[in-house]
Amino acid sequence: MDHLFSQAGLPDLEREIEFSTSKSSGKGGQHVNTTETRVELKFNIRSSLLLSGDQKDLLLIRLDSRLTEAGTLRMYSQKERSQSANKEDVLIRFYTLISKALIPVKKRIPVRPGKAARESRLRLKKALSQKKFLRKAPGDE
């Protein structure tokens, strides 16, 4: 799993992630009542030592609706019956979310419309004008 995320250019954030487990609801029968398979991930963006100031600011802005007041991102998984599978699932979702949030937005470079686009727009305007003109009664000019 580490190999997958090292290619994405993300630092090893697992050192700063806090995991906790609890009893999961859902499938599993009586087994679910005795084992803690639900995995919760907590990552405090503000106190991270591995992220730069710009990265922290970007994450705090883009993930604002998902954070607590202290700047902590909380995610959990209880899809699977095993704790390890749920931990892997929540880690994959975490790294995907972080990597998408850190992608810089390309600055739009404004360009002027080309000659063909201007001519097409004028043709459409002329056609619309003609259509409206033909709607008029003969003496309404």
Instruction: Please name each of the domains of the chain with its CATH number.
Output: 2-101 (3.30.160.20)
Enter the DSSP assignment of 19: E
Q: Helix, strand, or coil here: 55? A: helix
- 43 CB-contact burial (10 Å; exposed 0-12 / middle 13-18 / buried 19+): buried
Contacts of residue 117, defined as CB under 8 A and 6 or more positions apart, other chains included, come to: none
% pLDDT > 70, the chain: 85
Q: Which residue has the higher pLDDT, 21 or 58?
A: 58
Under the banding of pLDDT at 50, 70 and 90, the label for residue 89 is very high
Which segment, 5-9, 65-69, 92-96, is predicted with the most confidence on average? 92-96
Predicted local confidence at residue 19, as pLDDT: 87
Mean pLDDT of the chain: 84
